[in-house]
Chains A and B, each alone.
Chain A
């Protein structure tokens, strides 16, 4: 069965370190998204991609970057982790025919100490 996976599921890192969160989908969807979820804010869009070599900034992109070298993967990199980036991160994908119907991964809980 097609699925979307994230790794690691839990990560503790120190302030200033570079961290990469992986997202892999086997739906063959062109569209992929990264969100963060925090109490009091709900889900907020970080970056998104409509296809290979395409990346776009979302609402809260500062301090994050993504790259899209193939259809299946959209890794999220925190260039220099900050305590404000402690959050739960969700990756999502959507088909080109229904970009609003997004399939979410299980999430990565990141703690920056």
Chain B
């Protein structure tokens, strides 16, 4: 069955460092991969989308890579700030443009001042 794995252990880093979160998937060939941010008690917020034919996407301090051979995406936050503390969700969709997202369980990031 399709499986998406994100590190269930919280990631703790110091302010100013680069945070790197990992999303691995199996038994799936996604055409699109997205990253969402979720704060406690709130709904997810869309951050970035990357297509299967793109290797890297950037938006301000955020960078996403997508390696379809390794079946892995890396999500980087550079110059991290305490306000970046949240849970980050990886989501995949197939080649058909259905919007049917399959989500990972998320990784919690804690940035310490």
Contact = CB atoms under 8 A, between A and B. Distances in A.
Interface of A: 31, 33, 35, 40-45, 48, 58, 90, 92, 94, 98-107
Interface residues of B, number: 23
Contacts, number: 57
B46 A102 contact: yes
A100 B104 CA distance: 15
A102 B105 contact: no
B110 interface: no
Contacts of A45: 100-102
A48 B89 CA distance: 20
B106 A107 contact: no
Contacts of A31: 99
Interface of B: 4, 32, 34, 41-46, 49, 89, 91, 93, 97-106
Contacts of A101: 34, 46, 49
A100 B105 contact: no
A100 B101 contact: yes
A59 to B, nearest CB: 8
